[in-house]
Amino acid sequence: MHPHPHCSIVPPHLLAHLAAVDDPRHAVAARAARRALVQLDPLLADRAEAFAAPVPPRTAVGRPLERRISDAGGQEILPGTLIRGEGDGATGDEATDEAYDGLGATDALFREVYGRASIDDAGLPLAATVHYGQQYDNAFWDGERMVFGDGDGDVFGRFTRSLTVISHELTHGFTQYSTNLVYEGQPGALNESLSDVFGVLVEQHHLRQTVDQASWLVGEGVFTDQVQGQALRSLAAPGTAYDDDVLGRDPQPATMSDFVITASDNGGVHINSGIPNHAFYLTALHLGGYAWERAGRIWFDAAVGGGIQANSGFRLFADVTQEAARARFGQDSEEYEAVRQAWAKVEVTG
């Protein structure tokens, strides 16, 4: 089995729309999308195999945060040249400094709120490579490091601009060391959903935003002003993140009535993740305040509690989150009721 999963932020259905565009105004973006798609097929296969692999044992606990940012210099060779280490000052290169800050913000949520020492709970150093490839339209976690392209400049800008892109992809590492959900079908959609959930929580925690103040968007800022859209996904309103002549319309469903059956994208993992995403949003909305404190704590407890199996579907995940809410807050608590109602509203439970 391949040891390194490649979990990319831009889903294949969106790249396919862009790759098929026959308009001279978007020729650069179309070529970039076609190159990204060619790379994405083996990446998806590697990712599915890697998430099915046994999780290595954790060793040293309590190591302080250690970040390492490297520069690929426009090549597709990893890791690139180390240009900023932990404690080093800003370099002046936007992608480098955004990656450094984003890794720090992600670590801060897991460490300060949930008491987790890095994504593996053993102080794993957080590594990233910027300026990967030429006009590379994606960002991904490869099992060891974050990798960021600079975008094509027409449809996509640099991917480090969005904190939720950084935190989403790094959360795939957290999943790799916790639930290790199989990257296909409903388990794969849950895998993607966990990254979206903790991705937005990182941003909210960093900005100190309440449920009502937050945007609940994943990938806000990666589109150029040529695109009719806010972001790649919306937890508050799945299916509304973008509606563009070039990219098409956001296909995410919010309820099981609109569940998408497809053979592409490992069974629609980037599409059907809208359903558990929306369940988390509804839970947080019901509880109010800071989402990372109660709703996020329940999802975190569920992820690390051992009740989620590698092949878990939505219904089992709903049961595990309800049990996590009951265990922490009580059967008669507002928190338990919020989780129960949320899964019922998205039609996963009765």
User: What per-residue confidence (pLDDT) applies to 145?
Assistant: 92
Domain check: are 145 and 201 in the same one?
A: no
Last residue of a domain, one of 131, 148, 176: 176
CATH (domain of 68):
3.10.170.10
Assess contact for 214 and 199: CB atoms under 8 A: no
What is the number of structural domains in the chain? Answer: 2
Task: Reply yes or no on whether the pLDDT at 4 is more than 80.
Answer: no
- Residue 23 confidence class, pLDDT cut points 50, 70, 90: confident
Q: What is the DSSP string of 162-223?
A: -HHHHHHHHHHHHHHTTT---SSHHHHHHHHHHHHHHHHHHHHHHHT--TTT---EESTT-B
In terms of residue numbers, what domain contains 263? 185-345
Query: Has residue 122 been placed in a domain?
Result: yes
Task: Reply yes or no on whether the pLDDT at 162 is more than 90.
Answer: yes
Mean pLDDT along residues 230-257: 96
Provide the CA 30 distance to its chain's centre, in angstroms. Answer: 24
Backbone conformation region of residue 248, classed left if phi is above 0, alpha if psi is from -120 to 50, else beta: left
For residue range 197-228, list pLDDT tens digits in order: 999 999 999 999 999 999 999 999 999 999 99
Percent of the residues in the chain that have a pLDDT greater than 90, as a whole number: 77
Task: Reply yes or no on whether the pLDDT at 46 is more than 90.
Answer: no
Cα–Cα distance measured from residue 335 to residue 115, given in angstroms and rounded to the nearest whole number: 21
Percent of the residues in the chain that have a pLDDT greater than 70, as a whole number: 90
User: What per-residue confidence (pLDDT) applies to 193?
Assistant: 97
Q: Mean pLDDT, the chain, as a whole number?
A: 90
Which two structure tokens, joined as six digits, stand for 68?
A: 């390492």
Domain check: are 218 and 326 in the same one?
A: yes
Last residue of a domain, one of 176, 201, 223: 176
Query: Has residue 119 been placed in a domain?
Result: yes
Assess contact for 223 and 242: CB atoms under 8 A: yes
Mean pLDDT along residues 141-158: 93
Mean pLDDT along residues 156-180: 94
Q: Which of 152-156, 198-202, 266-270 has the highest mean pLDDT?
A: 198-202
User: What per-residue confidence (pLDDT) applies to 62?
Assistant: 62
Which of 233, 229, 230, 232 lies closest to 243, judged by CA?
Answer: 229
Mean pLDDT along residues 55-76: 79
- Residue 42 confidence class, pLDDT cut points 50, 70, 90: low
Assess contact for 214 and 231: CB atoms under 8 A: no
Domain check: are 56 and 122 in the same one?
A: yes
- Tell me the catalytic residues: 169, 270
Task: Reply yes or no on whether the pLDDT at 53 is more than 60.
Answer: no
Which two structure tokens, joined as six digits, stand for 75?
A: 């090549």
Mean pLDDT along residues 101-130: 96
Which of 349, 346, 275 lies closest to 316, judged by CA?
Answer: 349
- Residue 48 confidence class, pLDDT cut points 50, 70, 90: very low
CATH (domain of 328):
1.10.390.10
Query: Has residue 2 been placed in a domain?
Result: no
